[in-house]
Chain A
Amino acid sequence: MKLGSFLLKRLLLSIFVIFGLSIVIFIIARVVPGDPARMALGPRAPEEVVQRLRQEMYLDKPLPEQYFYWIRGVLSGDFGRSLVTKRAVSEDIKEFLPATMELAIFAGILMAIFAVLLGTLAARYKDTWVDSLIRTLSYFGVAIPAFVAAIIFMLLFGYYWPILPVLGRLSPGISYPIRITGLLTLDSLIQGNFVAFWDALKHLILPSVALSLGALFQEARITRSSMVDNMRKDFLSAERGYGIPERVIMFKYLLKPSLIPTVSMMGLDFASLFANAFLVETIFNWPGISRYGISAMMHKDLSVISAVIIVFGAIFVVVNIIVDIIVAFLDPRVRLSTSRGI
């Protein structure tokens, strides 16, 4: 019940955060130079056509009035129309968000598994060659941006050793599964279409690995240092004294509390994957929302810019709430403080 009220409080606060974000991004998008209507229609479009588009977009109204019309539309699920794709922005988001979601989920899974695995390995074999190897790899992993990793992977597995697909979400000739969630792997699995599932999975490998690497190694380092810190704690000596097997100590008593900083960081990193994916999406021609958002900025597609930022903001908020819940599960002190209403 106390956790429930804590979550309710977080949700209410989140509404204010997103509302504030909507105002900021609405203003920033409109002070960037360039007339979006003229840009969309080209220099030779008749002035009356440009004026009609300005009116449709309420660009002829004062800024507060424009915001009113926009937020009224957003609250009824209408984000306006895209000047680039010429479709309803909500329709575009429905199409592009699942693509990035699928990419980010796979990258997140890789991140979670390998960050904990490598971090644990490095801590367990601290100051041995295993630790040194993982730490060295981590330096490279953290230093190499996702798009550089994407280029390297494309060169390795697309160019020199062409064993993985490098373009889009499905190969030509493979029919798309009927849309349920928009996540191709999940949809094809639900429908028992294993050919599409396998093909979609292969398409995910390179972009998701490239996207996950930086965060993965950063979290591996955090896991390691957190575990190494905790190794020196008295409670572990006591547990060893009780004769508890080393494996149980490692996974039950050492890993669990050591994961708290990793999980907090993982939440932020996972949400950041959505925003950071745009170059990876560009390189692999992945039809995701991140690339869509950047393209909108290049074309001053106001409705899309605002909508995409709001979606990203909402993702950050939701992920942070989930992280809070996980941390509360892992750390009894947090549970206690929330139950006391602190």
Chain B
Amino acid sequence: MKTSKFVRFLRNGLFLVLVVSLVLILSCAGYTQQEVKVIRHTDSWPCYLDPAVGSDYASSIALCNLYDSLVFPNPDGSVKPWLAKSWEISGDGLTYTFELVPGAKFHNGDELTADDVVFSLERIMTIGEGYGYLFTTSVEGAKALEKYKVQFTLKKTFGPFLGALVRLYILDKNQVMANLQKEGPYGEFGDYGKGWLVTHDAGSGPYKVKEMKTEEYLLMEKFNDYWAGWENKDAPQYVKEIGTTEAITVRTLISRGELEITDQWQTSENLAAIDQIPNTEVSSLFEGSVLNIMLNTKKPPTDCIQFRKALAYCIDYQQIINKIFPGSRPSGSIASSTPGYNPNLKPYTLDLAKAEGELKQSPYYGKLDQYPFELYWVSEVPDEEKIALMVQANAAKLGIKVNIVKIPWLSMIDNLAKPETTPNGAIIFVSPHYAEAGSMLESRYHSRSCGTWEQGEWLQDPEIDAMIEDAIITIDQKERFQKYYAIQEKIAELSPTLWILEQAVKQAHRSDYVVFPAVEDVKQGKLCNPVMGYNFYYRDFKVTSEKAQPPYTPFKP
């Protein structure tokens, strides 16, 4: 009896709902096939298209593909002519004169001239965001000498100036000026085009913005009239930077053939699972990022050099690499992938006997229970807790008590602002700002960076400050690198940091139809590009969609 009522009930409505649901689901399948060469890459967001604003990973990738700079970075840290076909440096190292390639076009067809270079420099220096700091401290100004000749004047000599110029992306002055918002903090320039450049580009690079959906994706399209040409016939026609790093989303996308390259923020567990998907390859690149435990040299017990060295010898670096960051490698203050790294310095290794020997020389020896070592890790990076626990376990063997504190990133920044609130140890990743050891040395160990999250050591050593300043104003690269070596040796002696490892930037990509040049270079024992973003210079990528093995979802532009 009940059953018949139930059947009547189904007739009244539920059946209809079920049928509609079934039709919805069944008709969801089916994608039309279309051969378009595309790279779909997930990455963290935000992604800024304005060269005077962006400087994070996603923005750096976008900028180097949308814009051109006067020079182009080489893997060894040197530069090659790009928009500038040649240059001259004055004897005092204060004047750089560049001869531009004639006929380079912006995406809107405007010709790129010296005026655009001057405008781009003045704009980035006025706004002062993103990579602006590379120029505000060293550059006096620039002037257009001729249509294709531009001259830069420096305030003081700056050895890595040519290297820094890879971050001076040239914008189309006319296009930016035509899109100014009158209201803004930059006087007659209003907002200096910042509002318009949130979703547009004004560049001359190999790709141009087709669509920018904030917080969702950036779609770039190949610029067919690119001034440097397209020798690579298999270069992607479209590039989609997808704003997600969510593990399950990334894994699902690549398994459906809707993603060519994953972001670098996937856990080792997720990468291992992705590696099991056919035709998918996990690869490691080294871009100079070092994982540090910054030791506060102004607070007991880490104000004692012997105590710091004891800690340095009691860490099992290899185990951390094997268990937590597979593929990474040991490091000193400068990563071995960063030009200017001292190859003669050997990183610390686990040696408990040496650790004990150092500790016995410390004034804190015998009263270690009164001086616990406070170790902060950033709550947004769960792997750091594992490192903290491993440090705690090994330090206990020496009788050092480690108090582990989990702290949000915002609080960590606040704590590092003063020496008294900076913990004994802070676990933090740091990357160079430009591809040279000088960048890392300055941001990590010069007194100027004390109080920022890049220096939790509070080293404040006048001798090291002077050495860094001297190295950075040295124009000759060989001489400059020698000075970097000496600074690294001096810093290693002071042992203000526990350099845990050089981080491998790991990502997965489809190996059946995508040739990832940086990965291929690493396989052949060559260096990959140490300048952030340039390993994703898509003009050099090769995509042969016709070779794609299932599952592959063609892209519809």
Q: Point out the residues of chain A lying under 8 angstroms from B50, CB to CB.
A: 86
Q: Point out the residues of chain B lying under 8 angstroms from A202, CB to CB.
A: 24, 28
- Interface segment out of the listed B362-370, B447-455, B484-492: B447-455
Cα distance, A287 to B217, chains bound together (Å): 10
Q: Point out the residues of chain B lying under 8 angstroms from A162, CB to CB.
A: 255-256, 551
Interface string of B184-213 (1 = CB under 8 A from A): 010000000011001000000000000001
Q: Find out whether the CB atom of B46 lies under 8 angstroms from the CB atom of A84.
A: yes
Q: Find out whether the CB atom of B248 lies under 8 angstroms from the CB atom of A41.
A: no
Within 8 A of B (CB), among A119-151: 121, 124-125, 128, 130, 151
Q: Find out whether the CB atom of B411 lies under 8 angstroms from the CB atom of A173.
A: no
A292-B215 in contact given A43-B453, A52-B185 (Cβ < 8 Å):
yes
Q: Find out whether the CB atom of A287 lies under 8 angstroms from the CB atom of B240.
A: no
- Interface segment out of the listed A153-161, A317-325, A333-341: A153-161
Interface string of A261-298 (1 = CB under 8 A from B): 00000000000000000000011110100011001001
Cα distance, A34 to B249, chains bound together (Å): 31
Cα distance, A283 to B252, chains bound together (Å): 11
Q: Point out the residues of chain A lying under 8 angstroms from B2, CB to CB.
A: 125, 128
Judge whether A44 is part of the interface by a CB distance below 8 angstroms: yes
Say which size band chain A's interface belongs to.
35 or more
Q: Find out whether the CB atom of B246 lies under 8 angstroms from the CB atom of A282.
A: yes
- For the complex, count residues of B whose C-beta is within 8 A of A: 64
Q: Find out whether the CB atom of B413 lies under 8 angstroms from the CB atom of A39.
A: yes
Cα distance, A49 to B2, chains bound together (Å): 76
Q: Which of B129, B130, B433, B449 has the most CB of A within 10 A?
A: B129
Judge whether A46 is part of the interface by a CB distance below 8 angstroms: yes
Cα distance, A168 to B443, chains bound together (Å): 39
Contact of B452 among A43, A52, A173, A174 (CB under 8 A): A43
Q: Find out whether the CB atom of A43 lies under 8 angstroms from the CB atom of B454.
A: yes
Judge whether B132 is part of the interface by a CB distance below 8 angstroms: yes
Judge whether B525 is part of the interface by a CB distance below 8 angstroms: no
Report the minimal beta-carbon distance from A267 to chain B, rounded to whole angstroms. Answer: 23
Report the minimal beta-carbon distance from A204 to chain B, rounded to whole angstroms. Answer: 10
Closest to A84 in B: B46
Cα distance, A175 to B243, chains bound together (Å): 19
Q: Find out whether the CB atom of A168 lies under 8 angstroms from the CB atom of B217.
A: yes
Q: Find out whether the CB atom of A163 lies under 8 angstroms from the CB atom of B25.
A: yes
Judge whether A92 is part of the interface by a CB distance below 8 angstroms: yes
Q: Point out the residues of chain A lying under 8 angstroms from B55, CB to CB.
A: 42
Contact of B129 among A35, A49, A298 (CB under 8 A): A49
Report the minimal beta-carbon distance from A289 to chain B, rounded to whole angstroms. Answer: 10
Interface string of A58-87 (1 = CB under 8 A from B): 000000000000000000000000001111
Cα distance, A292 to B557, chains bound together (Å): 26
Q: Point out the residues of chain A lying under 8 angstroms from B198, CB to CB.
A: 85-87
Judge whether A23 is part of the interface by a CB distance below 8 angstroms: no
Q: Find out whether the CB atom of A283 lies under 8 angstroms from the CB atom of B246.
A: yes
Report the minimal beta-carbon distance from A115 to chain B, rounded to whole angstroms. Answer: 13
Cα distance, A163 to B217, chains bound together (Å): 22
Judge whether A241 is part of the interface by a CB distance below 8 angstroms: no
Q: Point out the residues of chain B lying under 8 angstroms from A86, CB to CB.
A: 48, 50, 53, 194-195, 198
Report the minimal beta-carbon distance from B119 to chain A, rounded to whole angstroms. Answer: 19
Q: Find out whether the CB atom of A159 lies under 8 angstroms from the CB atom of B256.
A: yes
Cα distance, A172 to B210, chains bound together (Å): 12
Report the minimal beta-carbon distance from A174 to chain B, rounded to whole angstroms. Answer: 8
Judge whether A56 is part of the interface by a CB distance below 8 angstroms: yes
- Interface segment out of the listed B6-14, B60-68, B397-405: B6-14
Report the minimal beta-carbon distance from A318 to chain B, rounded to whole angstroms. Answer: 25
13 A-B pairs with C-beta separation under 8 A? A85-B198, A87-B214, A124-B9, A154-B248, A155-B252, A158-B252, A162-B256, A167-B249, A172-B556, A202-B24, A285-B217, A285-B249, A292-B215
List 3 A-B pairs, minimum CB-CB distance, nearest first: A173-B556, A49-B128, A34-B410
